[in-house]
């Protein structure tokens, strides 16, 4: 039961703007979320409906999970200092 991973257009632009080595790490991390969208270390964002964040080094991946459709939608990818703004 693997989830499909979709990137929102802003998240796709944010990913492409990162250094290539960081892009590879984030893509690898996203692939692990296909089989377990709520792994150890994931946190639900306070004050937001159905938004989760996972860490990858200094970067954060903000996403929402649609269990009925088996879809994981990545909303934002960015440095930990700027991603929550």
Q: Is 9 left (phi over 0), alpha (psi -120 to 50) or beta?
A: alpha
Name all domains of the chain by residue range, CATH numbers in brackets: 4-79 (3.30.2310.20)
Q: With 80 as the cut, is the pLDDT of residue 1 above it?
A: no
Dist. CA 51–CA 32, nearest whole Å: 18
**Contact assessment for residue 73 and residue 66, using Cβ atoms and an 8 Å cutoff:** yes
- Report the chain's terminal Cα–Cα distance, integer Å: 33
**Would the pTM count as exceeding 0.85?**
yes
CA–CA separation, 54 vs 52, rounded Å? Answer: 7
pLDDT, tens digit (0-9, with 9 covering 90-100), for 11-32: 999 999 999 999 999 999 999 9
């Amino acid at each position: 039961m693997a989830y499909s991973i979709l990137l929102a257009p802003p998240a796709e632009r944010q990913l492409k703007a990162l250094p290539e080595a960081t892009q590879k790490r984030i893509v690898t991390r996203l692939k692990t979320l296909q089989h377990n969208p709520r792994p150890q270390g994931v946190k639900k964002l306070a004050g937001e409906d159905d938004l989760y964040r996972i860490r990858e080094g200094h970067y954060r991946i903000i996403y929402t999970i649609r269990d009925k459709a088996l879809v994981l939608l990545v909303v934002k990818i960015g440095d930990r200092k700027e991603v929550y703004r």
